[in-house]
Amino acid sequence: MIRMPRGRHPIHHAIIRLVTSAMLVVLAWGATAARATMTVRLDLPQIVAAADRAFVGRVVSVHSDRDQAGLPSTWVTFAVDQVIKGTVGSGLTIKQFGTTTPLSDGKIVHFAGLPTYTSGEEMVIFLSGESTAGFCSPIGLAQGKFPIVRRAGHAMMVGTAENLGVLHSMRRLQPTRTQLSGEIPLNTFLEQVAEILTQQGHP
């Protein structure tokens, strides 16, 4: 497993973006994608630094088809509740490579590591910029997607098999403030992200 350095030099951020883009290229050309999608583990500062856009939002719709180039694609439309990084309007649609539902020809093209989406699902998501083919995905693929659930009126961040390592990096950053048991308060997560952005020189 490749481990990225934890330094905050800009070249490290560029490498993470490049790796995410390269993964999508590999996927699009149908190479050994299942193995390629899970090679790089990132911590929270790396994901925050590499993200082009990040926000708290809710999935409005999910649609799978082939794009103009004939590549299997999934379009996900979000309602944006809170912008964390970058420029995002009140709504956003991304095109992610692959599908989880059958296309018109009956094919399903999905690879390990790519996140899935469900209408109505709430999340914090850290997105890459768009590739030349118009594809976009979370930084680190499913590592950059953090589902939200409601517990007695409280918004909680849910740890998943893909992002649990990212959440554990919060314990190293703030051991006295963060107790991870699979779920953490959304506000605690957002406060930590805000501190990271400040440290990285973002307003």
- Domain ranges within the chain, ordered by starting residue: 2-148
pLDDT in tens, 61-112: 999 999 999 999 999 999 999 999 999 999 999 999 999 888 888 888 888 8
More confident: 17 or 139 = 139
- Mean pLDDT over all residues of the chain? 82
Lowest model confidence (mean pLDDT) among 28-32, 83-87, 153-157: 28-32
**Residue 95: other Cβ atoms inside 10 A:** 18
Distance CA 139, CA 22 (A): 12
Distance CA 86, CA 108 (A): 33
Distance CA 5, CA 53 (A): 22
Residue 152 backbone dihedrals phi, psi, to 5 degrees: 50, 45
pLDDT band at 25; cut points 50, 70, 90? very low
pTM: 0.78
Strands (DSSP E) along the chain, which ranges? 2-3, 40-41, 53-66, 72-85, 91-97, 122-127, 145-151, 154-158, 183-185
Helix axes 164-173, 186-199, angle to 10 degrees: 70
Cα–Cα nearest to 43, from 2, 70, 4, 90: 4
CATH 2.40.50 fits 2-148, yes or no: yes
